[in-house]
Amino acid sequence: MKLARMSAYVLLLAPLATPAAAIAANRSDASALLKRGRYLVVIGGCNDCHTPGYAESGGHVPERDWLTGSRLGWHGPWGTSYPPNLRLFMQGRTRVQWIKFAHSARLRPPMPSWALHTLTDRDLSAIYAFIRHLGPRGHKAPDFIAPGQAPPEPYVSWPGPPHKATQ
Ligand code: HEC
């Protein structure tokens, strides 16, 4: 009799326990995804160009300022490019749009577009989750400057490709 009553309680409580367990599992999935995204951003070198002062300070920039874009121009035969603010870039995009962009983007040097093409959908989703989690911050980076025009300081001057005869 006692046992029967107990199992009735278990049956009644079981449906209540499931959502809590599911929420906890979702939470730990989400935090694993964020950790993976942070890890990929760090080892992928994204901060080196997209975070002001990051490479110069040996990575000593607080996480809240990561990926806010840079005013340091990259000047070469293609013109002068500026690493955009990825915190703003991600806000306007869905995860699916980001994955599509990353698979096909042909960006100017020195952006390693091939690194984006190589990332799996899962890793791209992790990067997306991490940058969205950081939230919008900072301003738009300067616009691209066409080849042949002198950019304002500061900029890095990139050498042209080696001359054919020396290859
Ligand atoms: C060596 C410097 C450098 C590194 C490292 C780098 N980027 Fe970039 N990135 C740039 C530059 C410069 C541009 C602008 C290219 C252009 O004008 O077409 C850019 C453009 C982009 C864009 C396009 C944004 C837009 O507004 O169109 C995305 C997205 C991006 N980078 C993501 C990343 C991610 C993610 C990583 C790390 C895996 C990374 N970048 C690493 C320099 C870099």
Q: Which domain holds residue 103?
A: 48-57+66-158
Q: In this structure, is residue 17 part of a structural domain?
A: no
Q: What is the torsional sign of CA 118, 124, 130, 132?
A: positive
Across the chain, where does the E strand assignment appear?
A: 73-76, 79-81, 155-157
Give residue for tokens 């951003």. Answer: 41
Ligand 1 binding residues, C-beta < 6 A:
44-46, 48-50, 74, 81, 83-84, 86, 89, 107-108, 110-112, 115, 127, 144
Q: In this structure, is residue 167 part of a structural domain?
A: no
Q: In this structure, is residue 94 part of a structural domain?
A: yes
- Provide the number of structural domains found in the chain: 1
Q: What atom of ligand 1 comes closest to residue 45's alpha carbon? A: 5
For residue 111, the one-letter residue type is M
Q: For atom 22 of ligand 1, which residue has the closest CA? A: 84
Q: In this structure, is residue 123 part of a structural domain?
A: yes
Q: For atom 8 of ligand 1, which residue has the closest CA? A: 111
Q: In this structure, is residue 10 part of a structural domain?
A: no
Q: For atom 13 of ligand 1, which residue has the closest CA? A: 83
Give pLDDT tens digits along the chain (167 positions). Answer: 455 555 555 445 555 556 788 888 888 888 999 999 999 999 999 999 999 999 999 999 999 999 999 999 999 999 999 999 999 999 989 999 999 999 999 999 999 999 999 999 999 999 999 999 999 999 999 999 999 999 999 999 988 766 665 54
Distance of alpha carbon 131 from alpha carbon 62, whole angstroms: 14
Q: In this structure, is residue 98 part of a structural domain?
A: yes
Q: In this structure, is residue 26 part of a structural domain?
A: no
Q: What atom of ligand 1 comes closest to residue 89's alpha carbon? A: 26
pTM for the complete prediction? 0.87
Give residue for tokens 């990561």. Answer: 66
Q: In this structure, is residue 132 part of a structural domain?
A: yes
